[in-house]
Structure 1
Amino acid sequence: MPNFADFEDEGVDWITILEEDYYPDYLEDAVERHEEDLRKFKQIVHKVDSSAKILTYINSNWKTTGDEGKERRQLLRIFRRYVLPVASVEMTSVKSNHDMVVNDFAEFIRPIDEVREVLNGREFPDEALAGILDQHDDRGEKGYWVEDKIFEWFETNFGDEFNIEGPRGAGSDIYLNEEFSGYEHETPADFIVYGPTDEPEIIGFARYDSDRGGGQEDDRTGGNDDKVQKITEYSKEHDYDIKILFIAEGPGLLLGDMWQSNARTEQKAQNVKVCTLKMMDERISEDWVTSDPISESSGPIIQGEK
């Protein structure tokens, strides 16, 4: 059976490229989606008496979960653009960071009078800012699409004796330390496939890369190698034969050393495969899913082990 590296020469034929809207075609819809967020931010700015209190107001009046949580995040994105561009949304979204943000970054906070002036100077609704917010909304969608296709594939190709679990689309990752007794690392995974005996057969990870290279490339593949090491060691210690499946998608695979880096991840251990969605029919069989590469191996499982 060919390995991941064998597909590189025809790599473009094996990846899925998800289309995106052309600029400025999406702006009209973006304005419609974000007009209410922009309106609420403008109301807050004219309600409070300092720029720091914009953050206080948002954190005090919106929950962090559900629809309110999504709206809160959009308001914080607008806050960052207008008031404090040096602070990330991740930083301001943690309520316990509030005092640190408004005190330690005080010199970078735009005064409220200036915020009002520039805000009132923009046409409402601000088409440019709506477009920026829309780009943020789109960031996870391709990955969610890939995950949904993985679930669909397993449900179509495997019988009722197999069960695939995990967030289908948007949702929190599975943390393996919460799923498996004795697993001590907070490793997030996208899906787990359980076999006919209800034992875990596959731990899976799915990614769509529109772009990838340099240090980001090293971080991604280095993180994958770390997951292989930890999961394989746990599997050996607890008498499992867990396979590890990386579903990699998108044109980013064709950039730099990404294809070969993924191929090296696959070669790192006997229980690992890297595939695109189009490769699954050819490379993921029931025999492989139920195989015992760890317990039946007469040599080292992980490359380089003695």
Structure 2
Amino acid sequence: MAVNFSFLSTIEDLESVVTAIPSSPTFPEFVEGRFNRYSEFVELFSSLIMDSSSSAELLCKIRNPKTFKAEVRMPLLKLFRRCVSTVIDTEKSKKIINPTSMFVDNYGHTFKDINLLKRQFSNMPDKDKYALTSLIGEYDDRGKQGYILTDMFFTWFEYVFSGKFTIEGPRGAGKDIQLQSIFDKFDSDYPCDFVIRDFKSRVVLAVGFARYDSTRGGSQSDDRTGGNNDKVMKADEFTKLSNINFKILFLADGPGLTHRDTWEESCILDGKLNDRVRVSTLKLAYKRITEDWLRN
């Protein structure tokens, strides 16, 4: 009979093991800050509207790298998506390598008429500007919770395991660590968030992934957990071919973790490969991430 190593599956009060990290200030506290940050871009966007003969021309002006640097272009593209066409993805439109004609030819029929835009932005009242800046700043703090979680985990780990293990990786925004840079024999794409080594020998004992989810479920959860399982299988294949063994740690936290589908998939992942794989929240770290587990 197979042994079930999943510790997560034994937890009954799921919310009690989650770390609460607020994502941003609440309403109305964030309103003034977002207005101060984006009001100048609303004014610039308004002037571009008045000087354009079509919404397509407006987009062309915004995306011209000779006119605007990236730090100006991005807020303007956010405004274009909110005010002109919600189908224009800002992550794609910010990449200048994609020609403006691609967006105009394929999505131009969704663009709001420039004359309507001119009427709407002509003498726009402050209350509307406050509302608009609040909207375009909605995702300013996206990813911040993950950075905070990683920093908290690094601080805990370095305190608990000082002189025994080291942990490497970006505490905040930064480049992922590729396993290719650690193991010469690893020949495929495998980015991870942190690497744990023995303090003296520098031998890699574990690779880790950190994720904070404020909310998650359905297809998003399927994508996340499916991707995690792929990471486990790829690492296991490498171990079988190279005889290089290391643990795999998923630091998963946030209220989104306790969604039924996400939690169940995490329970399946936890303890996999005869306990080489563990899933832990920050609150569970002292139980799940131990010297004995890392070394044996």
Normalization by structure 1: what TM-score?
0.84
Pair 2,27 (structure 1): closer, same or farther in 2 beyond 3 Å? same
> CA separation in 2, counterparts of 1:128 and 1:168?
33
Is contact 1:177–1:185 with CA below 8 Å preserved after alignment? yes
Instruction: Please identify, of 37-46 and 151-160, the stretch whose mean Cα deviation from structure 2 is larger.
Output: 37-46
Matched, 1:281 2:283: no
Matched, 1:18 2:21: yes
Output the amino acid matched with 1:95: I
Output the amino acid matched with 2:263: W
2:160 corresponds to which of 157, 161, 186: 157
Q: Could you say which residue in structure 1 is the equivalent of 2:241? A: 237
1:11-45 CA distance string (max 9 Å, x none): 21111122353322321222122223323322333
Pair 188,56 (structure 1): closer, same or farther in 2 beyond 3 Å? farther
Q: Could you say which residue in structure 2 is the equivalent of 1:223? A: 227
Is contact 2:180–2:189 with CA below 8 Å preserved after alignment? yes
Give aligned pairs, total: 287
User: 1:67-106 counterparts in 2 under 5 A?
Assistant: 69-98=70-99, 99-106=101-108
Pair 158,37 (structure 1): closer, same or farther in 2 beyond 3 Å? farther
Pair 49,162 (structure 1): closer, same or farther in 2 beyond 3 Å? farther
1:231-268 CA distance string (max 9 Å, x none): 22123322322111111111112222322210101133
> CA separation in 1, counterparts of 2:235 and 2:284?
23
Is contact 1:62–1:69 with CA below 8 Å preserved after alignment? no
Q: Percent identity?
A: 35
> CA separation in 2, counterparts of 1:78 and 1:162?
47
Unpaired stretches in structure 2, ≥5 consecutive residues: none
Q: Could you say which residue in structure 2 is the equivalent of 1:304? A: none
| CA-based RMSD | 2.5
Runs of 4 or more consecutive aligned structure 1 residues displaced over 6 Å after TM superposition: none
Is contact 2:21–2:254 with CA below 8 Å preserved after alignment? yes
Normalization by structure 2: what TM-score?
0.87
Unpaired stretches in structure 1, ≥5 consecutive residues: 292-306
Corresponding residue SS for 1:248: strand
More RCO (CA 8 Å, sep 6+): 2
| 1:208 Cα deviation from its structure 2 partner | 1.2
Instruction: Please identify, of 252-261 and 49-58, the stretch whose mean Cα deviation from structure 2 is larger.
Output: 49-58
Output the amino acid matched with 2:116: E
User: 1:1-306 counterparts in 2 under 5 A?
Assistant: 3-7=7-11, 9-19=12-22, 20-61=24-65, 69-98=70-99, 99-120=101-122, 122-124=124-126, 126-160=129-163, 162-177=165-180, 179-195=182-198, 196-270=200-274, 271-291=276-296
Pair 80,2 (structure 1): closer, same or farther in 2 beyond 3 Å? closer
> CA separation in 2, counterparts of 1:41 and 1:89?
15
> CA separation in 1, counterparts of 2:150 and 2:161?
16
Is contact 2:6–2:271 with CA below 8 Å preserved after alignment? no
